[in-house]
Amino acid sequence: MHHSYGGPGAQPVPRPELQAFFGEPVAFRLGEDLRGPEVDGHTVRAAVSEVLVELEVIDTPYGDWRLPLQGSVADNAAAARSVPGREIPLHPDLDLACEEITVRVGREAVAPLLGRRG
């Protein structure tokens, strides 16, 4: 299995490690540190310098995939690999909830998603 982006040094993901599930998270790169109890949503957004769409390879010991989202997010229990895409500057008027992500295998779109699921 190979991915189409990932930059120099990108490696194939060994099949035995996978349960064939992918996620399409958006990663945030901070341009400045966040400190103190006064940090709120506006402060966090102002600190973000770039966003990156990632291809996350999921691997989990939970064979039935009934792991609650909070449990998975809390400790990244299901993240086996992450392949970052290109950096996109975060402009103040960019609404990530309205952005669409389309995963393609070859030329076939297999997973169109909106930033806000549901």
* Domain extents in the chain: 21-93
Q: What pLDDT is recorded for position 105? A: 76
Per residue in 2-24, pLDDT tens? 333 345 565 665 555 545 456 66
Question: Residue 41 is inside which H or E element, if any?
Answer: helix 41-47
Q: Other CB atoms closer than 10 Å to residue 115's CB: what's the count?
A: 13
As a whole number, the mean pLDDT across the chain is 71
22 burial level (CB within 10 Å; 0-12, 13-18, 19+) = middle
Q: Which one is predicted more confidently, 106 or 114?
A: 106
Average pLDDT over residues 27-32: 90
Tell me which residue of 22, 6, 7, 13 sits closest to 83, measured CA to CA. Answer: 6
For residue 1, what pLDDT band results from cuts at 50, 70 and 90? very low
With 50 as the cut, is the pLDDT of residue 81 above it? yes
Average pLDDT over residues 51-78: 64
With 60 as the cut, is the pLDDT of residue 99 above it? yes
Q: Are 48 and 26 a contacting pair, CB within 8 Å? A: no
